[in-house]
C-alpha cells in the first residue's frame, strides 16, 4: 500500500491557525527568543557538532539511500559534524512537527520544506536563518575557500529556482529539487478514440476526449477499455489544478501582499466546467477516487495529472507499483505539460522541496548546518537524487555535468534508472523552466492553496451526489470555504503587518483596560519589592 500522502494524515487547514497560537505563546514556556544569526569568522574545528536533518522522501527507498549516502560522505569531509536523519513522507507532517518543536526550542537544524511553510515559521523572531550573508561569505559561502567539497557558486543556482526562496526581503531557503506537473497520457486509447495528441495539450482537447471515452456497450462496459471502470481524467493535486487554471486565464488568486482574490467570476466559470465533467464521470480527483497512476496503469484512465516527481509510478512498465501485476495493461505512455488555455503562452507550476536552516543559540552549530545544506547542492547529491524521479537538479553545475547529460541521453535504455517516462518528465521541466511560476508566499498562503483545491473537491463531490451546481451553490461554496479556511480574517488572510492596507484605528478599549491592569500589577509588584528591600536593610 503506497501512502505518499497518508489518506488519514493531517491536512494543513488548522495547522496554520494552531501555528499562530504556538508561535505566539511559546514565550510562556521559557523560550527567550534567539539573537539574529551572525556568520562566525571560522568554524571551530576543535569541537564536535551534532545536527538534525528532517528530510522528505516520496516513499522511495532509493531516495532514503541517497540521503544516507550524502550524510556519510559529508561526515567524511567533516568528521566533527554528525548529521542525524529523520525521514518524512509528506510536507504537512514536517510542518506539523516543526510547529510543535518551535515551542520547545527543539526545531531541527536543517529541514526540507515549502516556502509557504517558512512564511509561517517566520512569525517567530529570528527562527529561520536568512541566507544572504552565508551565500557570500568568502570562506564558508557558496563555493567558499574553506568549503571541503566542490560546492556550487551562487551564480550556478538556477536563478528562477533561487528566487522562489526569496520572500520578506530575504532568502530563507535554498532550492533542493524542482519538479512541475505533467499529464501522463494513455496515447493508445487517445488514438483508439480517433484523436491525435496535439503539439500542446489544451483543456478543450482533454475534456472532449474524456467525454468521448465514456461510451459504453449494452452491458455497461466502456468501449475504449472493455472494463466496467473508466475515469478518463484524474487530477492528483486539485489545488495546483485551480491555481494553474487561474494563472493561465490571467485571473486573480492573490496579490504578493497577501490580498485574496481567489473568489472571482473566473473561478466560478472554471468550477462550472469542472462540475459538468465531474457530473458526467469524465473527471475525478485523487481524494475522491485514488491515485491517478493506478487507474492509468490499469487502463482505467486516459489523462493522469501528477507531479513529474511521480513519474516512476506511471506507465505499463513503471518501476514502482503497489498494485497487482495482473491488473496492469499494455499501452503507450505520452508525457506532456499540463493542459493550457493559451497554447502560445504556456504556464505551469514550479514545485519541489527547498531546504531551510533553523537558527540556534550556538552560531557555530548553524554554520555547520549551512555546510551540510551546501553539500545537498553538490553535484553528487543533485544528480543522484534527481535521477530517482522526474526531478531536475537546481544548479546549472549539476544540470550541465557530464554525468547528468549522459543520464538524460540514455532515456529508455531500461525500465529502472533510465525509465523513459521518468526522463521525459524531467526533460519536460528542463525545457519549460521559463514557463513556470510560483504563487505569492505570505503567512496564510498555504491556507489559500488548500482552499483553492477544496473548491474543486467540493464541486465534484456535489455533482456526483446529484446536487445542483448553480449561482446559489457557488455563493454558498465561496462562503463556506472562506469561513472554513478563515480567509475573511485579516490575520489568516496573510495580510502582513504594516502593509499599506492595514488601518487598525484606535486601540480597542479592552486592550486599553488590559494594558492598564498589567501596568497596575507591575506597579504594585515594584512597590512591594522596594518595600521588602527597604525592610531587609
Partner 1 sequence: MKKLAVLLVTCALVLGCAGCGNSGDGGSDAPDASNASAESDADTEEEDAAQEEAGADEKSEGVMTYEEYAAAEVDSQVTVETYVQAKQSWWEDKATLYTQDRDGAYFIYDMPCTEEDYEKLVPGTKIKVTGYKAEWSGEFEIIDAEFEILDGSYIAEAEDVTSLLGKDELIDHQNKFVSFKGMTVEAAGKDDAGNDVPFLYSWDGSGQDGDDLYFNVSLDGETYTFVVESYLCDNTTDVYQAVKELNIGDTVDMEGFLYWYEGVNPHITSVTVK
| 523 sits near partner 1 (criterion: CB under 8 A) | no
Cβ at position 131, least distance to partner 1 in Å: 26
Query: Which phi and psi angles does 60 have, rounded to 5°?
Result: -140, 115
Alpha helix positions (H), 298-444? 363-376, 379-386, 396-399, 402-409, 420-432
Per-residue contact string for residues 482-501; x = within reach of partner 1 by CB under 8 A? ---------------xx---
| 2 sits near partner 1 (criterion: CB under 8 A) | yes
Q: What is the distance between the alpha carbons of residues 351 and 164, in angstroms, rounded to a whole number?
A: 9
Q: For residue 217, count other CB atoms closer than 10 A to its CB.
A: 9
Among residues 425, 424, 251, 277, which one has the least CA distance to residue 341? 251
Residues 66-95 that bind partner 1 (CB under 8 A): 86-87, 89
Cβ at position 481, least distance to partner 1 in Å: 15
According to CB under 8 A, which one of 430, 514, 524, 527 is a site residue for partner 1? 514
Cβ at position 290, least distance to partner 1 in Å: 4
The 3-state DSSP class for residue 207 equals helix
According to CB under 8 A, which one of 47, 61, 228, 410 is a site residue for partner 1? 61
| 200 sits near partner 1 (criterion: CB under 8 A) | no
CA terminus-to-terminus distance, the chain: 75
| 10 sits near partner 1 (criterion: CB under 8 A) | yes
Q: Residues near 435 by Cβ (< 8 Å), separated by ≥ 6?
A: 337, 346, 347, 348
Kindly tell me which of 432 and 499 has the beta carbon lying closer to partner 1.
499
Kindly tell me which of 14 and 530 has the beta carbon lying closer to partner 1.
14
| 537 sits near partner 1 (criterion: CB under 8 A) | no
According to CB under 8 A, which one of 5, 52, 60, 70 is a site residue for partner 1? 60
Cβ at position 5, least distance to partner 1 in Å: 12
Cβ at position 91, least distance to partner 1 in Å: 16
According to CB under 8 A, which one of 35, 36, 48, 65 is a site residue for partner 1? 65
According to CB under 8 A, which one of 8, 46, 145, 196 is a site residue for partner 1? 8
Sort strands 110-113 and 354-357 into parallel, antiparallel or unpaired: antiparallel
According to CB under 8 A, which one of 125, 403, 518, 524 is a site residue for partner 1? 518
Of 40-48, 97-105, 417-425, 511-519, which part binds partner 1 (CB under 8 A)?
Answer: 511-519
Q: What is the distance between the alpha carbons of residues 34 and 24, in angstroms, rounded to a whole number?
A: 15
Burial of residue 75, with CB atoms counted within 10 A of its CB: 0-12 exposed, 13-18 middle, 19 or more buried: middle
Residues 286-315 that bind partner 1 (CB under 8 A): 288-291, 294
The 3-state DSSP class for residue 219 equals coil
Burial of residue 530, with CB atoms counted within 10 A of its CB: 0-12 exposed, 13-18 middle, 19 or more buried: exposed
Q: Residues near 59 by Cβ (< 8 Å), separated by ≥ 6?
A: 2, 3, 4, 89
Kindly tell me which of 398 and 469 has the beta carbon lying closer to partner 1.
469
- 494, 442 Cβ separation under 8 angstroms: yes
- 359, 126 Cβ separation under 8 angstroms: yes
Cβ at position 6, least distance to partner 1 in Å: 8
The 3-state DSSP class for residue 127 equals coil
CA torsion, points 201, 205, 211, 214, in degrees to nearest 10?
Answer: -50
Kindly tell me which of 8 and 532 has the beta carbon lying closer to partner 1.
8
| 504 sits near partner 1 (criterion: CB under 8 A) | yes
| 378 sits near partner 1 (criterion: CB under 8 A) | no
Q: What is the distance between the alpha carbons of residues 389 and 428, in angstroms, rounded to a whole number?
A: 13
β-bridge mates for residue 175, sequence order: 354
| 524 sits near partner 1 (criterion: CB under 8 A) | no
Of 248-256, 282-290, 417-425, 432-440, which part binds partner 1 (CB under 8 A)?
Answer: 282-290
Per-residue contact string for residues 316-355; x = within reach of partner 1 by CB under 8 A? ----x-xxx--x----------------------------
Of 2-10, 153-161, 241-249, 373-381, which part binds partner 1 (CB under 8 A)?
Answer: 2-10
According to CB under 8 A, which one of 82, 192, 363, 461 is a site residue for partner 1? 461
Question: DSSP characters for 300-323?
Answer: --SEEEEEGGGGGG-STT-S---S
Q: From the CA atom positions of the chain, what is the Rg in Å?
A: 26
- 140, 78 Cβ separation under 8 angstroms: no
Of 103-111, 353-361, 433-441, 463-471, which part binds partner 1 (CB under 8 A)?
Answer: 463-471
According to CB under 8 A, which one of 16, 19, 57, 347 is a site residue for partner 1? 57
Per-residue contact string for residues 201-240; x = within reach of partner 1 by CB under 8 A? ----------------------------------------
Joined grid coordinates for residue 185: 497520457
Among residues 274, 298, 284, which one has the least CA distance to residue 186? 298
Alpha helix positions (H), 232-351? 238-248, 265-280, 286-289, 292-297
Q: Which residues bind partner 1 (CB under 8 A)?
A: 1-3, 6-11, 13-14, 24-25, 27-28, 57, 59-61, 63-65, 86-87, 89, 288-291, 294, 320, 322-324, 327, 461, 464-466, 497-498, 502, 504, 506-508, 511, 514-515, 518
Amino acid at each position: 500500500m503506497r501512502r505518499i500522502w497518508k489518506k488519514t494524515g493531517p491536512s494543513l487547514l488548522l495547522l496554520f491557525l494552531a501555528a499562530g497560537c504556538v508561535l505566539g505563546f511559546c514565550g510562556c514556556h521559557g523560550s527567550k527568543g534567539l539573537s539574529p544569526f551572525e556568520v562566525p569568522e571560522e568554524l571551530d574545528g576543535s569541537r564536535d557538532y551534532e545536527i538534525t536533518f528532517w528530510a522528505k522522501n516520496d516513499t522511495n527507498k532509493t531516495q532514503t539511500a541517497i540521503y544516507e549516502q550524502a550524510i556519510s560522505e559529508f561526515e567524511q569531509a567533516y568528521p566533527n559534524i554528525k548529521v542525524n536523519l529523520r525521514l518524512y513522507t509528506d510536507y504537512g507532517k514536517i510542518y506539523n512537527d516543526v510547529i510543535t518543536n518551535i515551542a520547545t526550542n527543539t526545531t531541527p537544524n536543517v529541514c526540507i520544506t515549502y516556502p509557504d511553510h517558512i512564511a509561517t515559521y517566520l512569525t517567530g523572531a529570528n527562527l529561520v536563518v536568512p541566507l544572504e550573508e552565508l551565500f557570500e561569505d568568502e570562506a564558508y559561502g557558496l563555493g567558499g575557500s574553506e568549503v571541503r567539497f566542490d560546492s556550487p557558486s551562487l551564480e550556478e543556482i538556477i536563478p528562477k529556482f533561487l528566487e522562489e526562496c526569496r520572500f520578506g526581503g530575504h532568502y530563507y531557503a535554498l532550492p533542493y529539487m524542482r519538479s512541475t506537473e505533467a499529464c501522463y497520457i494513455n496515447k493508445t486509447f487517445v488514438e483508439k478514440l480517433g484523436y491525435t495528441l496535439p503539439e500542446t495539450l489544451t483543456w478543450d482537447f482533454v475534456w472532449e476526449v474524456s467525454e468521448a471515452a465514456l461510451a459504453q456497450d449494452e452491458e455497461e462496459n466502456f468501449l475504449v477499455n472493455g472494463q466496467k471502470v473508466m475515469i478518463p481524467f484524474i487530477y492528483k493535486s486539485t489545488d495546483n489544478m485551480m491555481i494553474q487554471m487561474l494563472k493561465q486565464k490571467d485571473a486573480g488568486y492573490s496579490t504578493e501582499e497577501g490580498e485574496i482574490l481567489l473568489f472571482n467570476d473566473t473561478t466560478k466559470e472554471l468550477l462550472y466546467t469542472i462540475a459538468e465533467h465531474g457530473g458526467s464521470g469524465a473527471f475525478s480527483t485523487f481524494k475522491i477516487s485514488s491515485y491517478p497512476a493506478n487507474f492509468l496503469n490499469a487502463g482505467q484512465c486516459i489523462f493522469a495529472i501528477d507531479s513529474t516527481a511521480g513519474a516512476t509510478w506511471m506507465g505499463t512498465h513503471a518501476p514502482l507499483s503497489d498494485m497487482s501485476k495482473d491488473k496492469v495493461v499494455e499501452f503507450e505512455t505520452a508525457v506532456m505539460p499540463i493542459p493550457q488555455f493559451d497554447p502560445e503562452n504556456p504556464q505551469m507550476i514550479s514545485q519541489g522541496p527547498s531546504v531551510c536552516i533553523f537558527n540556534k543559540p550556538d552560531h557555530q552549530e548553524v554554520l555547520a548546518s549551512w555546510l551540510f545544506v551546501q553539500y545537498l547542492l553538490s553535484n553528487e547529491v543533485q544528480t543522484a537524487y534527481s535521477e530517482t524521479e522526474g526531478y531536475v537538479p537546481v544548479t546549472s553545475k549539476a544540470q550541465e555535468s557530464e554525468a547528468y547529460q549522459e543520464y538524460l541521453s540514455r532515456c529508455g535504455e531500461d525500465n529502472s534508472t533510465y525509465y523513459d517516462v521518468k526522463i521525459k518528465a524531467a526533460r519536460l521541466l528542463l525545457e519549460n523552466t521559463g514557463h513556470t511560476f510560483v504563487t505569492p508566499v505570505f503567512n496564510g498562503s498555504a491556507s489559500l492553496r488548500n482552499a483553492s483545491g477544496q473548491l474543486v473537491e467540493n464541486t465534484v463531490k456535489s455533482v456526483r451526489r446529484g446536487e445542483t451546481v448553480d449561482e446559489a451553490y457557488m455563493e454558498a461554496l465561496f462562503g463556506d470555504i472562506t469561513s472554513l479556511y478563515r480567509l475573511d480574517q485579516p490575520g489568516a488572510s496573510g495580510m502582513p503587518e504594516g502593509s499599506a492596507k492595514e488601518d487598525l484605528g484606535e486601540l480597542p478599549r479592552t486592550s486599553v483596560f488590559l494594558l492598564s491592569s498589567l501596568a497596575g500589577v507591575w506597579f504594585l509588584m515594584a512597590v512591594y519589592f522596594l518595600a521588602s528591600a527597604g525592610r531587609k536593610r
